[in-house]
Amino acid sequence: MKLDFVLKGDVLFCTEDREVQTVPDVFLICKNGKCEGVFTDIPEQYKDFPVEDHTGKLIVPGMTDLHVHAPQYTYRGLGMDMELLDWLNENAFPEESRYSDAEYAKKAYAIFTEDLKNSFTTRACIFGTLHREATEILMDQLEETGLITYVGKVNMDRNGSESLSEESAEVSAAETRKWLDDINGRYKRTMPILTPRFIPSCSDELMKEIGKIAEEKGLRVQSHLSENPSEIAWVKELVPASENYGDAYALFNALGDEKHPAVMAHCVYTDEKELAILKAHHTFIAHCPDSNLNIASGIAPVRTFLESGVSIGLGSDVAGGASLSLVQAMVHAIQVSKMYWRHVDQDVKPLQFKDSFYMATLGGGKYFGKTGSFIPGYEFDALVIDDSALRSMRELTLHERAERMIYLSGECSIDAKYVAGKKIL
């Protein structure tokens, strides 16, 4: 299939300096699945490309969800009156244990993958459960959607529940190797990622095994980091040799490097020292504000992260977050940053629209290489958004329309969606 075409519409995208480029009523060119740039007229060499006319609609880069739990999707919006560790034991663990049943997994993951396909997300880093078979079902279904994803079979050999735990580090590592063998070469758009749930769920032995597998097979790691004060204190007890929670992962070679960066969700309580460790390892931070609100975790100092130059994007963290929508995550990121400024540290300025748009698109997109922008040479991930239902009494600039679209996304619709040049909606 030839991935050469032209989209016409009102285009917005972020550049490296986190500024928003707004170019109304233009032609956006995709050649061989890559972006050729934005033009007021179609240049000669693209004259034969088919044109999709989305005049009057917003065209923005596809968005990356750096952290989402597929098996938690079916109970999103429930049990929000609890904090992290209780919430895991009452909600997450009992539900995830059901994925030992392949038929259950098939049905439940079909709901998740269908809704993810219809969302603003074009790329994602996804947690499965500890079950190998269910994780393969999830990967099979995701491959069908046309989305590009990293997916992990979860590792956990301690502090789970009777029905949700692996017997030992050896069993967990062996299952992980078996999973990797099973899926080897099976997918074009779905990649495995090693997924120790978090330090409290993984014994030292297991973490060592994961570090070994990562090195052997050149794989990345995803996990959780510094989400909640009780969790952080617990990690300090569990890995007394670590300087901080981030260092606990580093000790087991689970933070990756420039070529194989890890993604760490939350980092609500990451201080300068931990941040330096993340930067040294080229780790990506997945900022998940909806979840941080719902499970009462706290507010991450995202402005500080952005200024430090650490890699950072957004995560829905369903089901700590109630919605897969990354534009809702954009709003939440701005809102919580205002409360951080007001109530925690008035030297840390609130985020603006452009900062949040950057994280949802280019910031998180970098985890997948050159994605999340319409800079020439970038992979062509795009969303066509119809905002015409938002009635207005005056002409709005393209920037104003985009701002309004994120705050009122429930009244907008996604008309078309492209991932690496492939139209999936």
Give the interface with its own copies as residue ranges (CB under 8 A). 74-81, 98, 104, 107-108, 111, 293-294, 296-299, 322-323, 331, 334-336, 338-344, 350, 352-353, 390-394, 396, 400, 403-408, 410
Instruction: Give whichever of 17 and 103 is closer to its own copies, judged by the CB atom.
Output: 103
Q: How many CB atoms lie within 10 A of CB 302?
A: 26
Instruction: Give whichever of 222 and 356 is closer to its own copies, judged by the CB atom.
Output: 356
Q: Which of 166, 253, 245, 178 minimizes the C-alpha distance to 218?
A: 253
Question: Which residue's structure tokens are 């120790």?
Answer: 196
Nearest approach in angstroms of CB 11 to its own copies is 20
Instruction: Give whichever of 243 and 400 is closer to its own copies, judged by the CB atom.
Output: 400
Nearest approach in angstroms of CB 389 to its own copies is 11
* Cα–Cα distance list, 350 to 192, 303, 308, 335 (Å): 36, 7, 15, 8
Cβ contact 149:421 at 8 Å: no
Nearest approach in angstroms of CB 176 to its own copies is 26
Q: Which of 417, 320, 387 minimizes the C-alpha distance to 92?
A: 320
Instruction: Give whichever of 182 and 386 is closer to its own copies, judged by the CB atom.
Output: 386
Nearest approach in angstroms of CB 340 to its own copies is 8
* Token representation of residue 131: 């079950």
DSSP bridge pairs for 21: 13
Determine the residue type at 387.
D
* Cα–Cα distance list, 274 to 132, 292, 348, 353 (Å): 32, 19, 18, 27
Nearest approach in angstroms of CB 230 to its own copies is 12
Instruction: Give whichever of 166 and 387 is closer to its own copies, judged by the CB atom.
Output: 387
Instruction: Give whichever of 168 and 335 is closer to its own copies, judged by the CB atom.
Output: 335
Nearest approach in angstroms of CB 309 to its own copies is 23
Rounded to whole angstroms, the Cα distance separating 309 from 187 reads 33
> Please, where are the H alpha helices in 198-295?
204-217, 229-238, 245-251, 272-280, 289-294
Instruction: Give whichever of 26 and 351 is closer to its own copies, judged by the CB atom.
Output: 351
Cβ contact 135:178 at 8 Å: no
Nearest approach in angstroms of CB 78 to its own copies is 6
Nearest approach in angstroms of CB 401 to its own copies is 9
Provide the residue count of the chain: 425
Rounded to whole angstroms, the Cα distance separating 9 from 416 reads 12
* Phi-psi sector, 18: left (phi>0), alpha (psi -120 to 50), beta: left
Exposure class string for 46-77: b at 16+ Cβ within 10 A, else e? beebeebebeebbbbbbbbbbbbbbbbbbebe
Nearest approach in angstroms of CB 350 to its own copies is 6
Instruction: Give whichever of 213 and 268 is closer to its own copies, judged by the CB atom.
Output: 268
Instruction: Give whichever of 280 and 344 is closer to its own copies, judged by the CB atom.
Output: 344
